[in-house]
Amino acid sequence: MEKLYDLLKENYGEMIEIRRFLHENPELSFEEVNTPKYIAEYHRNLGHEVTEGVGRRGVVAKLHGAKPGKTVALRADFDALAIQELNDIPYKSKVDGVMHACGHDGHTATLLVLAKVLNKLQDELEGTIVFIHQHAEELAPGGAIAMIEDGCLDGVDVIFGTHLWAPEPLGNLMIKDGPLMAAADGIYITVKGKGGHGSDPSNTKDSIVIAAQFITNIQQLVARRVDPIKPAVVSIGHIEALNPFNVIADSVYMKGTVRTFDEDTRDLLEKEIEEVLKASCYLTKADYEYNFVRGYPAVVNHTKETEFIMDLATQVPGVDELRVCEPVMGGEDFAYYLNHVPGTFFFTGAKDPNWEEVYPHHHPRFNIDERSMLIAANTLGAATLKYLLENKNN
């Protein structure tokens, strides 16, 4: 372990260089071209077995140890977001309207340099390490499910992953057994009323009023229909009626999100949201279109692997505090990997203690304390080596 930590510390400067290069050159989900080429070339230069175009745009690299053994997979995502960066930094995004506003540049830099260091330990490894570089985490259906269908988990015994987490202080590691991140579903609704002049509402079916009633009423679903010990969120984030000020809208379009942790609650809300919509439209005999689009399932960590990370984390350089965290309502398609093989996902604190203000993920001023990458690499590297060592005869 000490050799691993020393090598990672020696190569930390390269980790920063890679992260900043990727930050300057972001690519949107399902539009990644140069980033996967860069990743593949990096691994080829290390002599790894490389497969490109996995699940369309993903990259999988394999490092075979000197002796056979178990297979550990490590995953990092590399897509960016359609956000105009507002940070005044030397490595600001060069692509108008696109930035790494969620730390995926840091995830990729972490895994690439960790791969380089583990390569130097190849003669001591008993087993195989699979480096999964995933495209399109930010946009459903996501890249994970397609990469799995293309075989990225074939032969894998366990998978580990982390998310650099800006709201949490540097040095903190957060994890929990069971549900960690929510299922993320979308709702797409059109209320079809009858438009008319704003001065003559009695001869219309006011779709804006119907939509307003619907938005108010669905808040009762979480409060009164969902089991109070089962977390859920229903939010409408977009409403659109492109009319002049004096015209009652013929139709209103809405988009929103539903976040849940268990399938029963997910099924309930899919059904009950439509029931509320139907009731809201019934009063004026309006019509509607309703689409509930299932996104990523919940990220549910496996007990044995979660306890494994918890046991080793406090011994990892840079980890000052290990904390069992509350579930997070954000979604992550790492969930698909955990549906296929044992593993766990955790958060690595990335908040600079000197920052006066911390901007959330997906904000145009989002940033991370780059030292968090070294902590993440130390943790993932330690988990890999310890797992291969403890399971070499199994």
pTM, full prediction: 0.93
Question: Known catalytic residues?
Answer: 79, 137
Q: Is 281 annotated as belonging to a binding site? A: no
Q: Is 163 annotated as belonging to a binding site? A: yes
Strand partners, 234: 258
Residue 283 has pLDDT above 90, yes or no: no
* pLDDT at residue number 393: 74
Residue 302 has pLDDT above 80, yes or no: yes
* pLDDT at residue number 392: 83
Residue 336 has pLDDT above 90, yes or no: yes
Q: Is 48 annotated as belonging to a binding site? A: no
Residue 369 has pLDDT above 90, yes or no: yes
* pLDDT at residue number 356: 85
The pLDDT confidence band at residue 242, using thresholds 50, 70 and 90, is confident
Comparing 56-65, 98-107, 240-249, 268-277, which segment has the lowest mean pLDDT? 240-249
Q: Which domains does the chain have, with CATH numbers?
A: 2-180+298-390 (3.40.630.10), 183-296 (3.30.70.360)
**What pLDDT, in 10s, does the model give residues 20-66?**
999 999 999 999 999 999 999 999 999 999 999 999 999 999 999 99
- Within a 10 A sphere around the Cβ of 262, how many other Cβ atoms? 16
**What pLDDT, in 10s, does the model give residues 87-108?**
999 999 999 999 999 999 999 9
Q: Please name the helix (run of DSSP H) or strand (run of DSSP E) that holds residue 333, with its range, or none.
A: none
Helix (H, G, I), strand (E, B) or coil at 153: coil
Residue 381 region by backbone torsions, left for phi larger than 0, else alpha for psi between -120 and 50, else beta = alpha
Q: Is 325 annotated as belonging to a binding site? A: no
The pLDDT confidence band at residue 215, using thresholds 50, 70 and 90, is very high
According to DSSP, the β-strands at 172-175 and 251-260 are unpaired
The pLDDT confidence band at residue 394, using thresholds 50, 70 and 90, is confident
